[in-house]
Amino acid sequence: MVLGLSAALASRGIDVTIITTDSNGDIGQIPLDVPLNEPIQQNGYQIIYFRCYPWRRYKFSLSLLQWLNENARQFDLAHIHALFSPVTTFAATIARYHKLPYIMRPCGMLDPADLQKKKRLKQIYAAVLERPNLAGAAAIHFTSKEEAKISERFGLGSTGKMPVPRDLDSTGKMPVPRDLDSTGKMPVPRDLDSTGKMPVPRDLDSTGKMPVPRDLDFTGKMPVPRDLVIPLGVTAGLFPKRLRESEVPIILFMSRIEPKKGLDLLIPALESILALGIEFHFILAGSNPQDAEYETQIKVQIQNSSLAKYTTITGFVSGDLKVELLTKADLFVLPSYYENFGIAVAEAMTAGVPVAISDRIHIAEDIQQAEAGWVEPLEIGAIAHSIKSALLNPQERQRRGLNGQEYARKHYNWEAIAQQTIDAYQQILSSIN
């Protein structure tokens, strides 16, 4: 998301700097082989990688935070991605200390369902660290209206979607740093600043307790950040012209293999369709290095079911293989329990593949309005019904696939998203000035 947006912003004259770590995704992966602590120019923006240290598991980087503390005043705005990750948590604290306006993108981490994971730890973390960060943000960047609607605010309230102007000023220039680390929970670091002490958020007092924040508005209440609703983007033109549908329809699941994706509902739904004598080929594409046990459980379940001889399990896919699978697929399925956006769904739409999804994916309303697929509640029977309807109606699959492709072209393209983002940046800076 960050790289695509940065390139699109840079193409419009915005001076973008990304700061991130050399973490290479999930646990167990070797670090990225990239130069550290120096800017690298690519696609019109610059990116600076910092070493994950001292807690690589949590994607934390002391040197990144030191660099931000030293250079924050060079920038006009920061766009910080993810919550409950110490590197982004302290990036927001540093930005606030230097009076650098910042936007926070929760990446779905304020969803009530997601907050149930490690619930007690997150409650403490939020009260001490993330609530002041959210209160001090110029805006909170949600990727769908539904995400903004259901997200937990820790008592801060909501102002609704932030209106944005249509025009920029004459310069069009606005350097934007970005903190790219996406996830991870970890112990609070103890040695951030030059004094060797941990910077205390300005909203905390010397006792370490959570008193009334210092930066109250005139009513004596915690200031409320604005909601900014801008979707994620997908690179148009990535997918070639669709191949002719195969004699046996191909159903594609391509996402992370984890409990929230609804595979516990999808597998029995597919089994029930096979029992009716309706043939298809199911491709399960994805992995989960952080929960290999669950991934193995799903594979074993499929191998021991009637689906076995109708299923191909590919593991994690990317690049040309990912494009090939989307090009060949006749139907994309994702019955998730919750998704703040559903980027895999948007990619399928961009490829012209009709989708069958749950109504818990927050762009479900877009799918229904565009008639780009089938949306059903989280029930085995309902999921089976939508997939069966799609399989038995090839012309309808084609129509909905084309509808989805057109919708994605208009609404999920980086050019349109970059303009919305620039409009939001400009309004934030104008309101401050």
Q: For residue 113, what is the domain's CATH number?
A: 3.40.50
Residue 20 bridge partners (DSSP): 49
Q: Do residues 388 and 418 both lie within one domain?
A: no
Give the number of domains in the chain. Answer: 2
225 and 183 in a single domain? The answer is yes
Q: Dump pLDDT digits (tens) for 14-27.
A: 999 999 999 887 66
* Same domain, yes or no: 39 and 97: yes
Residues 325 and 316: beta-carbon distance below 8 Å: no
pLDDT, tens digit, for every residue of 160-182?
A: 333 333 333 333 333 443 333 44
- In a domain, residue 380? The reply is yes
* Residue 242 within any structural domain of the chain: no
Does some domain include residue 241? no
| Run of H or E including 254 | strand 250-254
Q: In this predicted model, what pLDDT tens digit does every residue of 191-202 receive, in sequence order? A: 444 444 444 444
- Do 119 and 225 lie in a common domain? yes
The reply to whether 127 falls in a domain is yes
Alpha helices for 19-118 (secondary structure H):
62-71, 86-97, 112-115
Q: Are residues 221 and 260 in the same domain?
A: no
Q: How many helices (H) and strands (E) does the chain have?
A: 15, 14
Distance, in Å, from the CA atom of 140 to the CA atom of 137, rounded to the nearest integer, reads: 7
The token pair that represents 82 in the structure block: 């993810």
Say whether both 188 and 304 belong to one domain: no
Does a structural domain hold residue 218? Answer: yes
CATH of the domain at 386: 3.40.50.2000
90/200 Cα distance (integer angstroms): 9
Q: Is 72 domain-assigned?
A: yes
| Residue 8: its H or E element | helix 2-10
Same domain, 48 and 74: yes
Phi-psi label, residue 198: left if phi above 0, alpha if psi -120 to 50, beta otherwise: beta
> Partners of 284 in the beta sheet?
253, 313
Predicted local confidence at residue 153, as pLDDT: 83
Is the whole model's pTM more than 0.85, yes or no?
no
| Domain housing 339 | 250-411
Note whether 404 and 420 are same-domain residues: no
Q: Quick check: is 78 in a domain?
A: yes
Answer yes or no: do 196 and 275 share one domain.
no
Please give the share of the chain, as a percent, with pLDDT higher than 90. Answer: 73
Let me know whether 46 and 65 are in one domain: yes
404 shares its domain with 422: no
Low-confidence ranges of the chain (pLDDT < 70): 26-28, 56-57, 157-225, 237-246
Work out the number of other CB atoms within 10 angstroms of the CB of residue 415: 11
Query: Chain-wide mean pLDDT for the chain?
Result: 85
Closest CA to 83 of 46, 123, 134: 134
**Domain identity same for 193 and 274:** no
- 244 within domain boundaries: no
Reduced to 3 states (helix: H, G, I; strand: E, B; else coil), residue 103 is strand
Question: Concatenated DSSP letters for 304-323?
Answer: TSTTGGGEEEEES--HHHHH
pLDDT value for 22: 92
pLDDT in tens, 382-411: 999 999 999 999 999 999 999 999 999 999
Distance between CA atoms of residues 221 and 156, nearest Å: 9
